[in-house]
Structure 1
Amino acid sequence: MKNIYIHLIAPLAIMAITSCGSKDEKKAAAAPPPTSVNTVTVAEGNALYYDQYQGQIIAVNSVELRSQVPGFITNIYVKDGDMVRAGQPLYEIDRRKYQATYDQAAANVASAQANLVKAQKDIERYQMLLKADAVARQTVDNATAAFEAAKSQVAAAKATLSSAATDLSYSVIKAPFGGRIGISQVKLGAQVATGTTLINTISADNPMAVDVVINEQDIDRFYKLQNSTTDSTFRLKLSNDSTYNKQGRILAIDRGVNAQTASVKVRVQFDNPKGILKDGMSAVLSVLNNQSGTRVIIPYKAITEQMGEFFVFTVQNDTMALQKKVKLGARINANIVIMDGIKAGDKLITEGFQRLRDSGKVVIGGPKQAPAAAQAK
């Protein structure tokens, strides 16, 4: 009997050992092989990127010329488009009436002054007679009153003369500052009205500015940029796609927010010594983003998106893939700035992560390629 039991146990033990070995082999066979991936080492770089604002170039100093006295244009002293200096005569309005008014006012001043001299002498003479008791007090009082009236007449005549002189000076329209004059809106002999007839426009070529409209949420940012000394804060791209080679600075921020658009106008000034910028041109103002600086920059192709969130895979110990959530910054060509989530020195998977899961096994380096001769077969 004992021999029979021994013979039965031996086959069973062999079967159990064989069965265990078979399960281990199946489990090993069922485990997926490591995924081949390519990696790069995360590094920091100088991330300079800009926000774009559509704007219009304007002259910082610009004025419309309108007459302050009515009349007919009798002389035009400049050609359209000329450069003019401050105080240079530009247009003349018929001066004859204003000259006559001035001459009459000057004559009235002379007459009033003569009356004042006479009144002054009368009062001096009467005062001497009064001391000798040779004239009545009332006569002296009348002379004093006449003297004061004569002084008032002189003052009134001088005021009239000053007004006439002003009108006479307004009959010649002069450049208020140096700049370039535009195309004349009136011809020789044309009649102009006070303050309503546009005669021409003058604008200074240097400096120039660009007006842009920003969202009210960016107001604080632009107030801080007013004190910025960074040369690369503002860049200007012209309509011909060229970049203007001068640096800008904030000249003014409008006093309040437009209630309808929730926006604010900002004016950025640029030097324009060569006259490249012209009043009325369109341009794009590039403003340095406040997140610019030394940042982690990775290839954009390494980013995956899941439910509106962004992730990358890094490699741990060269064998395991770890999924990490990242916060994206601006995109710079084929790269993207990472604000948070990974750091310099991490080993980033750039290829082969499409079927990876967190903590999945990986092998660095793409799959080995078969020799060209073998591929040909």
Structure 2
Amino acid sequence: MKNTYYYCIAALALLSVSACKSKSQKQGAAMPPTPVNVIEAKKSDALYYDSYQGTVAALNNVELRSQVSGFITDIFFKEGTVVKKGTPLYEIDRRKYEAAYQQAKANLVSARANLNKAQKDIDRYNMLLKNDAVARQTVDQASATYETAKSQVDVAKAGVESAATDLSYATIKAPFTGRIGISQVKLGAQVSAGTTLLNTISSENPVGFDVVINEQDINRFYKLQKSYTDTTFRLQLPDGSNFGESGQIFAIDRGVNDQTGAIKVRVQFPNPSDQLKDGMSGVLKVLNDDSGDRVQIPYKAVTEQMGEFFVFLSKDTIAKQVKVKLGPRIQSNVVIMEGIKPGQKIITEGFQRLRDGGKITLGKPAGASQGQGAGGDKGGAQGK
């Protein structure tokens, strides 16, 4: 019995030692704090833009067509150059139009001569009528002849004006100052009135830039039409560079397309160096309404999970994961619209293996140079 008691005591001692050893091993296996780098979230001026694809449009663009028929006898311009308003561009064979003009003038001279004769006849018959030396019927006929002669003069004048107009149309002139394109006809080509395209001329300074916006943005653009600054409208060129001039709204279309729910807006830009060409594509940058003094943090501090974005905050020795709403990327930073306040400590490196509530310590994280956030080396989140 006594031996049994000793055996029980020994067994309990062994169990106690084993439990203490197991507890000691568990404590030794606990994860050490994760070294991290942190920065303080700060507010700074953030100007960012919404993007709209569009095309350059000349404010004045005209297709040149002849108003009379004939053969091209002269071309006076160099293709692709700027021509001034009223400059002769093409000439159509003038001979028959000059002949028609001369004939019309001759007809006018003849009509005026007939009117002069009719005037003298009516004056003479009226004098004879006072002396009762001529029949009333003869006077009436002379009056009718006089009125007919007057109308023939009017017809002849109209003929002269019509012939002069046709003759002027034989020389096609620039309707405004602009750049003319490549000629669609050559010397000796036959053209038909109103149908044959000769060329196209476009104004160049200023120019418009056309974009299509959603009807939900109409009120925003109406406000921008009344109030804008030099930073409100910017233009990005096809090669990715920024156009050096700022724009302003030229016109908002009269109505919304009932099929697409969209409306066209034209923004006007100065074009002193003729850098913008009619039909050129580009991106209109419109200053976002949320621009201003905003919290910004390095984009590499952001992680993405299931389409949502998170940041780790440093709370003494504890990492706390918070959900954030991102604004646009500004170089290596990103604007934080919601979720972070100025002065909070943001973990920028070493958070790759962190969990919410994990222990941290300040220090150089292992492999920090390779760590990447949600953006990495790729494009970042877009703004509104």
- Fold-level match, TM-score > 0.5? yes
Does the 8 Å CA contact 1:36/1:362 hold for their aligned counterparts? Answer: no
Q: How many residues align?
A: 343
Q: Residues 281 and 304 (structure 1 numbering): CA distance in 2 closer, same or farther, change over 3 Å? A: closer
Find the counterpart in structure 2 of residue 286 from structure 1.
285
- The answer as to 2:374 corresponding to 1:365 is no
Find the counterpart in structure 2 of residue 239 from structure 1.
238
Find the counterpart in structure 2 of residue 143 from structure 1.
142
Which one of the candidate residues 333, 336, 345 is aligned to 1:335? 333
Q: Secondary structure at the match of 2:109?
A: helix
The residue identity in structure 2 corresponding to 1:211 is D
Report 1:18-37 matches (<5 A): 37=36
Find the counterpart in structure 2 of residue 266 from structure 1.
265
Q: Secondary structure at the match of 2:226?
A: coil
Residue 120 of structure 1, CA deviation: 2.4
Where structure 1 has 5 or more consecutive residues not aligned to the other structure, the ranges are 1-21, 370-377
Residue 260 of structure 1, CA deviation: 4.6
- The answer as to 2:112 corresponding to 1:113 is yes
Output the CA distance in 1 between the equivalents of 2:329 and 2:140. Answer: 94
Output the CA distance in 1 between the equivalents of 2:36 and 2:365. Answer: 12
Q: Residues 180 and 264 (structure 1 numbering): CA distance in 2 closer, same or farther, change over 3 Å? A: same
Where structure 2 has 5 or more consecutive residues not aligned to the other structure, the ranges are 1-19, 367-384
Find the counterpart in structure 2 of residue 92 from structure 1.
91
Find the counterpart in structure 1 of residue 157 from structure 2.
158
Output the CA distance in 1 between the equivalents of 2:237 and 2:365. Answer: 51
What's the CA shift string for 1:62-113, capped at 9, x where partnerless? 2221111000111222232333221111111111111111111111112222
Residue 332 of structure 1, CA deviation: 2.4
Residue 305 of structure 1, CA deviation: 4.3
Output the CA distance in 2 between the equivalents of 1:34 and 1:81. Answer: 71
The residue identity in structure 2 corresponding to 1:365 is L
Does the 8 Å CA contact 2:252/2:264 hold for their aligned counterparts? Answer: yes
The residue identity in structure 2 corresponding to 1:256 is G
Report 1:275-314 matches (<5 A): 275-306=274-305, 308-314=307-313
More deviation, 110-119/307-316: 307-316
Q: Secondary structure at the match of 2:363?
A: coil
Find the counterpart in structure 2 of residue 130 from structure 1.
129
Find the counterpart in structure 2 of residue 205 from structure 1.
204
Which one of the candidate residues 342, 345, 366 is aligned to 1:344? 342
What's the CA shift string for 1:197-247, capped at 9, x where partnerless? 111222233223333333343333333332343212222232333322111
State TM-score, norm by structure 2: 0.77
Q: Secondary structure at the match of 1:74?
A: strand
Residue 155 of structure 1, CA deviation: 1.4
Does the 8 Å CA contact 1:35/1:356 hold for their aligned counterparts? Answer: no
Find the counterpart in structure 2 of residue 14 from structure 1.
none
Residue 136 of structure 1, CA deviation: 3.6
The residue identity in structure 2 corresponding to 1:194 is A
Residue 356 of structure 1, CA deviation: 3.9
What's the CA shift string for 1:45-75, capped at 9, x where partnerless? 1212223333333332222211110001112
Q: Residues 179 and 313 (structure 1 numbering): CA distance in 2 closer, same or farther, change over 3 Å? A: same
Q: Residues 240 and 312 (structure 1 numbering): CA distance in 2 closer, same or farther, change over 3 Å? A: closer
The residue identity in structure 2 corresponding to 1:141 is D
State TM-score, norm by structure 1: 0.79
Identity, in percent, stands at 65
Does the 8 Å CA contact 2:57/2:208 hold for their aligned counterparts? Answer: yes
Does the 8 Å CA contact 2:64/2:201 hold for their aligned counterparts? Answer: yes
Output the CA distance in 2 between the equivalents of 1:79 and 1:332. Answer: 47
The residue identity in structure 1 corresponding to 2:225 is Q
Output the CA distance in 1 between the equivalents of 2:329 and 2:242. Answer: 21
Output the CA distance in 1 between the equivalents of 2:32 and 2:80. Answer: 78
Does the 8 Å CA contact 1:37/1:362 hold for their aligned counterparts? Answer: no
Q: Residues 206 and 325 (structure 1 numbering): CA distance in 2 closer, same or farther, change over 3 Å? A: same
The residue identity in structure 2 corresponding to 1:285 is L
Output the CA distance in 2 between the equivalents of 1:117 and 1:101. Answer: 24
Find the counterpart in structure 2 of residue 220 from structure 1.
219
